Amino acid sequence: MREMLLDTASPLTQDDYSLFQLPRQFTIDLEDLDQRWKAIQKQVHPDRFSMAGASAQRIAMQWSSRINEAYRRLKNPLARASYLCELLGAPIQAENNTAMPSAFLMEQMELRENLEDAVNLQDFEELVSTVQKSIAQRRALCAKWLDEVSPAQPQEAAQEVRAWMFMDRFLQDVQRRVAQLSEDHS
């Protein structure tokens, strides 16, 4: 690996799955990912190249940054699902593709109303529970569309990822309101 690091930067452009020698699928063993990350980091850590000159140190730093970026993306289920959809030709484009099924939009409106009406901790806990269940369902659907259906159906998974992103942002809003409620009562 050290020789490869010094000779070429092309592995820097590999996709995250190839970098960690993992199959392209949503479901991954996080302990295995951790072990692979540590093993690769040991090989390319910039400190190992302190005597190799500025160019080798710069490449080692690029490797280390790239490995850390890939590790963070694969470790986070939402980021991993989004990334995998992109690799499979179904980019999420969350910034400019906000079209969602009307039933989902109605659900969002109802959740927003419930958030506005929430006044006590129990109300917020019910919202958190509801949203966490929805996120778990979306995550399971992503796994189904990306891992179990042959061939993978990235368009369907991408739709679920966009909904998951909405729900994740909503959950963050609820958690901010809970923190604000806690501050107000302390």
- Asked if 59 and 10 sit in the same domain, the reply is yes
Q: Does 92 map to a domain?
A: no
By mean pLDDT, which of 25-29, 74-78, 96-100, 139-143 is the weakest?
Answer: 96-100
Count: domains in the chain:
2
Q: Does 66 map to a domain?
A: yes
* Residue the block writes with tokens 């690799």: 87
Q: Which amino acid is at 109?
A: M
Res 9: pLDDT:
47
- Asked if 57 and 11 sit in the same domain, the reply is yes
By mean pLDDT, which of 7-21, 62-76, 87-101, 123-137 is the weakest?
Answer: 7-21
pLDDT winner (highest mean) among 6-10, 45-49, 58-62, 125-129: 125-129
Q: Give whole-number Cα distances, 171 to 124, 134, 139, in Å.
A: 10, 10, 15
- Asked if 117 and 159 sit in the same domain, the reply is yes
- Asked if 70 and 108 sit in the same domain, the reply is no
Residue 28 structure tokens: 């991954």
CATH number at residue 32: 1.10.287.110
Q: Is the pLDDT of residue 55 over 50?
A: yes
CATH number at residue 119: 1.20.1280
pTM of the model: 0.85
Nearest CA among 96, 77, 73, 84 for reference residue 158? 84
Nearest CA among 158, 168, 108, 110 for reference residue 135? 168
Residue 42 structural domain: 2-75
Q: Does 141 map to a domain?
A: yes
User: Please, are residues 43 and 36 in contact by the beta-carbon 8 Å criterion?
Assistant: no
Dihedral, CA of residue 145, residue 148, residue 149 and residue 153, to nearest 10: 30
Q: Can you point out the beta strands (E) in the chain?
A: none
